[in-house]
């Protein structure tokens, strides 16, 4: 698994990801530094958040309801959205709603069925980082991220609609 992020329209590899992922039944114990940044599933959130001294991230499935997720975002610095299949587009809407309806400003991370050719759309919907699925080529992902240099419609990236941006300033 390789972690990528993007900035100013360019994708890059993140070599030193500070986040540690906990399973549904795992708790912070002495083997883990309580100051670590941990990503926990929804059912582990109440158990971990009170004792964690580092940052807390929340992992939700791509079909989660945005309003329900938003209700749990107090003190959460990262939301990891897991795509069950790359053909399941609900994660894109979920990300936009978290950003634009609920004002989530922390990191949005895509994981699961994340393929190189999807990163551009995911980024436009508000994702900051991507765990590339096994088998996906990192080189391809970096290369194709910038295939399209412009867009017609606004999304979570704050792009202006093309029909307004193109109009000559009078």
CB of 83 to other proteins, least distance (A): 9
CB of 105 to other proteins, least distance (A): 18
57 within 8 A of 19, measured Cβ to Cβ: yes
- Residue 3 dihedral angles phi and psi, to the nearest 5°: -100, 130
What's the CA gap between 157 and 123, in Å, rounded?
8
Using CB under 8 A as the criterion, what x/- string covers residues 58-97 for binding other proteins?
A: --------x-------------------xxxxx-xx--x-
Instruction: Kindly report the number of other CB atoms within 10 A of residue 94's CB atom.
Output: 23
CB of 60 to other proteins, least distance (A): 14
Among positions 11-50, residues that touch other proteins (CB under 8 A) are: none
What's the CA gap between 65 and 98, in Å, rounded?
10
Using CB under 8 A as the criterion, what x/- string covers residues 99-118 for binding other proteins?
A: -xx-------------x-x-
9: contact with other proteins by CB under 8 A: no
Q: Nearest-5° angle of CA 24, CA 30, CA 36?
A: 70
151 within 8 A of 158, measured Cβ to Cβ: no
Binding site for other proteins (CB under 8 A): 66, 86-90, 92-93, 96, 100-101, 115, 117, 120-122, 124-125, 137, 140, 143-144, 147-155, 160-164, 166-167
């Amino acid at each position: 698994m390789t972690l990528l992020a993007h900035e100013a329209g360019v994708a890059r590899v993140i070599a030193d990801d500070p986040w540690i992922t906990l399973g549904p039944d795992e708790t912070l114990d002495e083997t883990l530094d309580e100051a670590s940044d941990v990503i926990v599933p929804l059912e582990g959130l109440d158990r971990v958040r009170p004792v964690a001294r580092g940052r807390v991230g929340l992992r939700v499935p791509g079909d989660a309801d945005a309003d329900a997720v938003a209700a749990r975002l107090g003190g959460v610095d990262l939301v990891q959205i897991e795509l069950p299949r790359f053909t399941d587009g609900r994660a894109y809407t979920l990300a936009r709603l978290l950003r634009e309806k609920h004002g989530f400003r922390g990191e949005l991370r895509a994981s699961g069925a994340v393929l190189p050719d999807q990163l551009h759309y995911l980024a436009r919907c508000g994702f900051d980082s991507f765990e590339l699925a096994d088998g996906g080529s990192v080189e391809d992902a970096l290369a194709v991220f910038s295939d399209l240099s412009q867009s017609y419609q606004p999304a979570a990236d704050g792009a202006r609609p093309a029909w307004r941006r193109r109009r000559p300033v009078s």
